[in-house]
Chain A
Amino acid sequence: MRARVSNRTPLYILCSPQPRVGRTLLARLLIDFFLMEDRPAAGFDFIVEPPSLIDFLPDNTVQSNVADIAGQMALFDRLILPDQTAKVVDLAPAAFQQFFSVMAQIGFVGDARQRGIEPVALFIAAPDAASQRAYAELQRGLPELVLVPVYNDAVAQGRRARENFPPARAVSVPMQVPALAPHLYRYLEKPPFSFVDFRSRPPRHIPLDLYMEQLRWMRRVFVEFRELELRLLLGDVRASLLRGAS
């Protein structure tokens, strides 16, 4: 078991106002990233259409909604628990507005920080205007939230994506998700699927070279997650030093 990066309870919200930008795939990778390090992880799925997160990782995922107060309580009362279980929210576009609106109203981010939880929104940058607007509104509406743009090479590439989704602070350095070769998708799109199992027990039906290629891709994504965690840790250290100096 690897040492924990920090004592913070991780909370990641994979989001985009647009469907089919690789949100659920990243949520799956993130949950397996934690599980692979023997760190407990839980997924929260706003099921839109199958297969969704709960289909891929049924043992680690619960169904969520924010449409009514009971759903909001079930979700946010769990997300606010500083129980060292990494929480990964796969936020469907239909719930995007309501989720962040509730989050703002109940003062979630401030309270979460006090409990040692750093909510991080991983916003998948897509080239459409609605995504850019939603990103800017989120920055304005929840300025205390760590908002990290995710450049998914399979969705948007190039300088324009970077210009349209500017990071707001040092810790929000964009994440770069390399595109997976199209012919490799079919090996990981049939639920249930765990990247942990995939790595430890190579499936028989996949040629070795393709398997290795897929592992390399997975490792590159995990490096991005690890760097993000380190940036958050450095942010904590910096803040703590500043507090000590003042």
Chain B
Amino acid sequence: MKPAVILVGADKGGVGKTTVTRTLLDYFVAHNVPTRAFDTESPRGTLKRFHPEVTEVVDVTAIPDQMKIFDTLTDADAKVTVIDVRAGLLSTTLNALRDIGFLDIVKKGQVTFAVFHILGPSIASLDEIAETAAFVGDAKYFLVKNHINNTTFFEWDPATYDSYFHRVKNAVEISVPHLNEMACEQVELSSVPFLTFVANKTAGGDTASNSFVLRGYVRHWLGNVWAEYDRVKLTEISATK
């Protein structure tokens, strides 16, 4: 199986990068796709708190950590590598990927590369699209509108957005729906993957005492997020031979 790298990022903070990464990791678990993750919020990673067993905290700008990620792509048991890029580091990371020749091997078809670009409600997010577009010519590029915090993309003029959107070849839009605030908060407090919360388990595997209603809301929400991933045929990324 050809290795796949999924980069989740945005240059703006607080747009829900780690939340989306968590839904991706849960999605691959549910589809029995061995996956590993790198959390670039060094030295302490939020992603690692939720998925400690598959996550390693790295400094993506440091060469030893770049080697740790990219030199092991073909050797690792997990053929899908998800990188949660810290706010403000998306462009830097893409630059680094170009410099180390990663984008060249993507071009040659040796690695599948996908970018989940999480958009915020501001005009600045649209500029990010233009900036990122230069690097993702051979990648699968997903523009993610994250509504989990009830974000409304009020600043966007649809025509302007479309003009940015169409600049990127093969860009696909994904919409992450809103999740009830209390449900969201409870999962945060539990510090477990969404799937574990839904199954009413603790991080240690014991039975938790989560509200049935909140679990129901999370399950419903996660189902809708995954429906989006099914729509864009996400599993094909990991299935490419």
Interface size on A, residues (CB 8 A): 13
Which residues of A lie under 8 Å from residue B219 when comparing CB positions?
106-107
Cα of A102 to Cα of B219 in the assembled complex, Å: 13
Tell whether, in the assembled complex, residue A106 and residue B180 are in contact, meaning their CB atoms are under 8 Å apart: no
B157-211 at interface with A (beta carbon < 8 Å) = 180-183, 211
A80 on the B face (CB < 8 A):
yes
A69-77, A143-151, A200-208, A210-218: which lies at the B interface?
A69-77
- Interface class of chain B by DSSP: helix
Cα of A70 to Cα of B186 in the assembled complex, Å: 13
Tell whether, in the assembled complex, residue A73 and residue B216 are in contact, meaning their CB atoms are under 8 Å apart: no
Tell whether, in the assembled complex, residue A76 and residue B220 are in contact, meaning their CB atoms are under 8 Å apart: no
Between A72, A80, A106, A107, the greatest number of chain B beta carbons within 10 A of the residue's beta carbon is seen for A106
B214 on the A face (CB < 8 A):
yes
Which residues of B lie under 8 Å from residue A38 when comparing CB positions?
none
Which residues of B lie under 8 Å from residue A108 when comparing CB positions?
216
Interface size on B, residues (CB 8 A): 13
Between B211, B212, B219, the greatest number of chain A beta carbons within 10 A of the residue's beta carbon is seen for B212
Which residues of B lie under 8 Å from residue A105 when comparing CB positions?
216-217, 220
Cα of A127 to Cα of B232 in the assembled complex, Å: 47
Which residues of A lie under 8 Å from residue B62 when comparing CB positions?
none
Tell whether, in the assembled complex, residue A72 and residue B213 are in contact, meaning their CB atoms are under 8 Å apart: yes
A62-102 at interface with B (beta carbon < 8 Å) = 69-70, 72-73, 76-77, 80, 102
Tell whether, in the assembled complex, residue B180 and residue A69 are in contact, meaning their CB atoms are under 8 Å apart: yes
Tell whether, in the assembled complex, residue A106 and residue B182 are in contact, meaning their CB atoms are under 8 Å apart: no
Minimum C-beta distance from B137 to chain A (A): 41
Q: Which 7 A-B pairs have the closest CB atoms?
A: A106-B216, A73-B213, A80-B212, A76-B213, A69-B182, A105-B220, A73-B211
For this complex, 15 residue pairs linking A to B, each with C-beta atoms less than 8 Å apart, are: A69-B180, A69-B181, A69-B214, A70-B182, A73-B213, A73-B214, A76-B212, A77-B213, A105-B216, A106-B212, A106-B215, A106-B219, A107-B219, A107-B220, A111-B212
